[in-house]
Amino acid sequence: MSRAGMACGLPRIEHVKELCDSCLAGKQRSPFAKKAKYRASDRLELVHSDMCGPISPATHGGRKYFLLLVDNATRFMWMRLLSAKDEAPEAIKQFQAKVEAETGYKLKVLRTDRGGEFTSVEFGRSCADKGVERHLTAPYSPQQNGVVERRNQTVVGMVRSMLKAKKMTAEFWSEAVSTAVFILNRAPTKSLKGVTPFEVWHERKSDIAFMRTFGCVGHVKNVKPHLSKLEDEHTNGVPGHGSKAYRMYDPRAERVHILRDVIFDEGASWS
């Protein structure tokens, strides 16, 4: 990416030929079917969607699933956390409203499997009312929705590797999923030549100078409003990436804060 100028803020890194134990443990899987030949030419011409879960343990907010959506033309991805499968139709409706307003394009085709959350009469009627054509895969044929199935496998593999690398407990899976999607949107893919999904979707290069290692320790100013002069002014946290700040988990308060001013120790594991 650095040599090809595919992102802003990326330092020059020499390639080191060594095996990563966390990556090997997290990403082992069976080979997938051959790629489909069809490729959309415009944004939102075809969007693939797939559900992953239930995942244990649930998040602090009770979420047990994540819904992944992939734009066929740009390979840009979105993720939505869900408490139950039946929340998927509403999540897709909200997704459609957001991306159509953002781009000016209309969602034309939505491809999913035949899970009950996607085959209800109400959801089918809602799609028809909004001019969205439904493509449902044949039973037991995940390869027919291979674009999102492969991405789902990649995300889950990254999540396992990231949690293992920093010795983090499984309760942080949702933060790891969010970070994996964030990274993949800004990383090269074989489906695109010389550009990233972020650049094709947003029509500008991504700036990744602010990115930090997921799960490293960060020191932030104490966020309590009335801090005594004798109290500790810093607390440890585990960062995820927000739009313009970092998502820092405070283990003492068991809360996530959105903060900008953080000093990181990227070599440290959080345990």
pLDDT one-digit tens code per residue, 187-234:
999 999 999 999 999 999 998 888 888 888 888 766 566 555 545 555
Helix (H), strand (E) at residue 70: strand 65-71
Six-digit token string for 154? 């990649």
As a dihedral over the C-alpha atoms of residue 114, residue 118, residue 122, residue 123, rounded to 10 degrees, the angle is -130
Instruction: Select 37-206's CATH number: 3.60.15.10, 3.40.1180.10, 2.40.50.140, 3.30.420.10.
Output: 3.30.420.10
Distance CA 142, CA 148 (A): 9
| Closest C-alpha among 209, 210, 185, 180 to residue 195 | 185
Which stretches of the chain score pLDDT less than 50? 30-31, 230
**Bridge partners of residue 206, in order along the sequence:** 7
This prediction has a pTM of: 0.83
Give the 3-state secondary structure percentages of the chain, helix then strand then coil, rounded to 5: 30, 20, 50
DSSP string, 171-185: GGHHHHHHHHHHHHT
Domains of the chain, by residue range, sit at 37-206, 217-265
Distance CA 246, CA 261 (A): 9
Q: What is the pLDDT of residues 117-148, one digit of tens each?
A: 999 999 999 999 999 999 999 988 888 999 99
**Residue 200 confidence (pLDDT):** 97
**Residue 164 confidence (pLDDT):** 92
Do residues 41 and 54 lie in contact, with contact meaning Cβ atoms separated by under 8 Å?
Answer: no
**Residue 230 confidence (pLDDT):** 45
